[in-house]
Amino acid sequence: MTPFALVYTLHLLAALVWVGGMFFAWMILRPAAIAALEGPARLKLWTEVFQRFFVWVWVAVVLLPISGVGLIHMRFAGFETAPRYVQIMIGLYVVMTALFIRIQGLQLPALRKAVAAQDWPTGAAVLGKIRQLVGINLLIGLLVVAIGAARPMF
């Protein structure tokens, strides 16, 4: 395996874990949890899911820029010669990371606090906010994947 192939593979796997995890949570786990669990159990489930998933998101958040910068230098000899689509992907990564940090730093502690206090209405409201932010991040992530796959030259 060439160095480029190794770095590219790590980059794709990190994106797959983050975006694929959000897709699974939004499209599969959420509807199944709504169908199978009462509110309190659902809130407890989500606190456990986020705790485990966010570890992997942090791995992606760290690995994506490291591997991305490596790919830029291997393929384009630097930021100056990188195509516009790469620059757009970098910008969208920053937006996704900011949304994730908002969820991790503000919403998740509020959800944990509500669940620990068995304040189910507050927990449900916080989970709704998290769902919205994850939905936005999922759409942005899918856009980044589409841009990376299509490599539009604009």
Residue 2 corresponds to which tokens in the numbers above? 């060439």
Contact 124, 39 (CB under 8 A): yes
- pLDDT for the residue numbered 154: 79
- pLDDT for the residue numbered 12: 98
Render pLDDT for 106-142 as a digit per residue (tens, 0 to 9): 999 999 999 999 999 999 999 999 999 999 999 999 9
Only one residue has tokens 């897709």, namely 23
Render pLDDT for 20-79 as a digit per residue (tens, 0 to 9): 999 999 999 999 999 999 999 999 999 999 999 999 999 999 999 999 999 999 999 899
What pTM was computed for the model? 0.95
